[in-house]
Amino acid sequence: MTTNTATPIIAYQGHQGAYSHLSCQQMFPNFEAHACMTFSAAMAMVECGDAQIAMIPVENSTAGRVEEIYRQLPHTSLYVIGEHYEPVNHCLLGTHGSSLEQINTVGSHPQALAQCDKHLNSLNIRPLATLDTAGAALEVSQKGDPSHGAIASSLAAKLYDLRILQENFQDVQGNTTRFLILSREHQIPAPVAEQKYITSFLFTVRNIPSALYKAMGGFATNNVNLIKLESYTPDGRMVATQFHIDVEAHPDDANMILAMDELAYFAKDIRMLGTYAASDYRYAEV
């Protein structure tokens, strides 16, 4: 059922206060952010028209790719219309009556706990795994135990009325998550001078010798920058390998047209996932 609300909706996975929720607010402050229990539920909201777009994480600079998303993309009818990079600032949260010295246990998602492992050990705090960071913050709020804390975002602290005992609690600074913005509409932006674009698509190689090498050759000879190549077996079958590829090019670029023509000789089931402006974060000086 399509919504008729005046305020557009953006769907994300996790509790309110999750990093996905924070990314929604950063990128689309005028949208109503809607929490979903699973990634597939967030995408389904867009597919059926109950949300205009979805904010979905695909990789993290510390934890690597979100493998589940790459498995789900071939089965969705959605298109990629943008990307967003969100720096992760883990905060150690507690009740208003607690202090850093009082915290004995802390809950969070296993990845967040791993990213704060050295810091936790130095403070002799015992980690407890939860389904997500914001859910751990909600638990602290509900329990009201000054000896139990959570590792979550500053947004979670605000939403659940918790005290930030320490910011930047992660062991390594610069931890960043890349999100894709998904829509039902295939919105290919008109090329703008000096703007760099990312084009994402799927394909399966033909059953011929050196098919992948030959398929990729067209991008090399036509000077198209390949920036991501993911492989997996669709539907768990071992008879074919499907690839997800990101290139730094717009479909209207002459060299991209030549590269795609050459790809068609050695690949099948080519499906365009979307073309979108490359985030400035990609080119920021480290």
Give catalytic residue positions: 177, 179
Residues 6+ apart with CB under 8 A from 170: 88, 89, 90, 115, 116, 119
Cβ atoms of residues 274 and 181 within 8 Å: no
Beta strand extents in the chain (DSSP E only):
9-13, 32-36, 53-60, 64-65, 79-87, 91-94, 105-108, 126-129, 148-152, 163-166, 176-183, 197-205, 225-232, 242-248, 267-277
DSSP assignment letter at 210: T
The residues, ordered by sequence, that sit 6+ positions from 190 with a Cβ below 8 Å of its Cβ are none
Contact 116, 151 (CB under 8 A): yes
Question: What sign does the dihedral 130-131-132-138 (CA atoms) show?
Answer: negative
Tokens 């979805």 sit at which residue? Answer: 54
Residues 212, 226: Cα–Cα separation, whole Å:
14
CA distance 206 to 211: 6
Residue 6: strand, helix, or coil: coil
Angle of CA points 194, 200, 202, to nearest 5°: 155
